[in-house]
Amino acid sequence: MIIRPRPHGWQLLYILRGSIVPAVAPKVLAILVLAIAVAAFAELWHPPGIERVSVAPFTLLGLVLSIFLSFRNSACFDRWWEGRKLWGQLVYESRSLARLCSTVLEADPARAARMVRLGIGFAHSLAAKLRGRDAALAALPWVDEAGHARLAQRQNTPDQLLAMITAEAAVAHRAGDLDSILFAQFETRVHALSSIQAGCERILSTPLPFAYTLLLHRCAWMFCVLLPFGLASSLGWATPVVSAVLAYAFFGLDQLGEEMEEPFGLEPNDLPLDAMVRTIEIDLLGSLGVQPLPAPLQPHRYLLQ
């Protein structure tokens, strides 16, 4: 995620870091070169009949394309915002689990510490799974040696960590350290964490329909490629400028939709999962009295991941 002050004045013209320009620059440059060639042909050779080429069809096509892009970007933003809400809920539920462990299991601090560290491992492994990394490897530092073998028993490492948290609570319940009501409180927290994982997996495994995305890609390219031919007769040498600006707008909206459609990746506008995992780590280790605590992640060149 890009974290930087809101630009003002002349900054709007030259800021590149955090903008969509680097991603769409090759496409815009291709349209610019094509528009220069079309404008030069129209102005220098004056082909017969060029005056009859009207810009009206491109106005209608641009309007329809703008509506389609708006619908797609709204759907992509909904996926991005749902992912952010799920991870905000994960921070809340993790803090609640740590608070429950430190107060209810005060007589058994070793078990409470294991459960809290398993909660940290869950956050690390879920982030790793969503970003295509090794979830088991991400969880290993937060699991004791007895739990290493249990991690290898299942492919779904985050769910296995939740099962281990429930198992710890069940042992305390059988030992009489937890009554049925308090055990149900632990199970409620684990159920909420499992629901968050399922929501994230739903977003990850269900992209927008490919045919819809392909249609928008094709329409954007057709509009931007054909636009110089419709503008050359009326705008002349101004055709490349107008074509490049419109190509930047349409290709930029298309690219933004692609980045928000997959909110858990490593694109500049994706969610900062690593930073949120570090927040959970700091809060849960703090509940155990661990010192010194790790420092929060900071943006590097305005990019927070």
Query: Given a cut of 60, is residue 225 above it in pLDDT?
Result: yes
Give the model's confidence band at 160: pLDDT under 50 very low, under 70 low, under 90 confident, else very high. very high
Query: Given a cut of 70, is residue 14 above it in pLDDT?
Result: no
Query: Given a cut of 80, is residue 207 above it in pLDDT?
Result: yes
Query: Given a cut of 60, is residue 51 above it in pLDDT?
Result: no
Per-residue three-class SS string for the chain: CECCCCCCCCHHHHCCCCCCHHHHHHHHHHHHHHHHHHHHHHHHHCCCCHHHCCCHHHHHHHHHHHHHHHHHHHHHHHHHHHHHHHHHHHHHHHHHHHHHHHHHCCCCHHHHHHHHHHHHHHHHHHHHHHCCCCHHHHHHHHCCHHHHHHHCCCCCHHHHHHHHHHHHHHHHHHCCCCCHHHHHHHHHHHHHHHHHHHHHHHHHHCCCCHHHHHHHHHHHHHHHHHHHHHHHHHHHHHHHHHHHHHHHHHHHHHHHHHHHHCCCCCCCCCCCHHHHHHHHHHHHHHHCCCCCCCCCCCCECCECC
Report, as an integer, the average pLDDT of 3-25.
72
* 138 falls within a domain: yes
* 45 falls within a domain: no
Count of alpha carbons within 13 Å of 226, Cβ hemisphere only?
15
Report, as an integer, the average pLDDT of 180-189.
90
Q: Whose structure tokens read 């005060």?
A: 106
pLDDT in tens, 59-112: 777 787 888 888 888 889 999 999 999 999 999 999 999 999 988 888 788 889
Give the model's confidence band at 272: pLDDT under 50 very low, under 70 low, under 90 confident, else very high. very high
Report, as an integer, the average pLDDT of 9-27.
75
Question: What is the percentage of the chain residues whose pLDDT exceeds 70?
Answer: 92
CB 285 within 8 A of CB 101: no
Domain count along the chain: 1
Query: Given a cut of 80, is residue 12 above it in pLDDT?
Result: no
* 157 falls within a domain: yes
* 120 falls within a domain: yes
Query: Given a cut of 60, is residue 147 above it in pLDDT?
Result: yes
> Two tokens at 57?
């069809």
Question: What is the percentage of the chain residues whose pLDDT exceeds 90?
Answer: 38
Q: What is the mean pLDDT of the chain?
A: 86
| Angle between helix 210-235 and helix 239-261 axes, rounded to 10 deg | 170
- Rank 35-44, 193-202, 208-217, 266-275 by mean pLDDT and report only the highest: 193-202
* 201 falls within a domain: yes
Q: Whose structure tokens read 């220069």?
A: 36
Domain membership of residue 131 as a residue range: 65-235+246-287
* 56 falls within a domain: no
* 186 falls within a domain: yes
Which phi and psi angles does 89 have, rounded to 5°? -65, -35
Q: Whose structure tokens read 């490049």?
A: 244
Query: Given a cut of 90, is residue 266 above it in pLDDT?
Result: no
Give the model's confidence band at 49: pLDDT under 50 very low, under 70 low, under 90 confident, else very high. low
Query: Given a cut of 60, is residue 52 above it in pLDDT?
Result: no
Residue 294 buriedness (CB in 10 A; 0-12 / 13-18 / 19+): exposed
* 12 falls within a domain: no
Query: Given a cut of 80, is residue 18 above it in pLDDT?
Result: no
Q: What is the predicted pLDDT for the residue at 85?
A: 96
Report which of residues 227 and 4 the model is more confident about.
Answer: 227
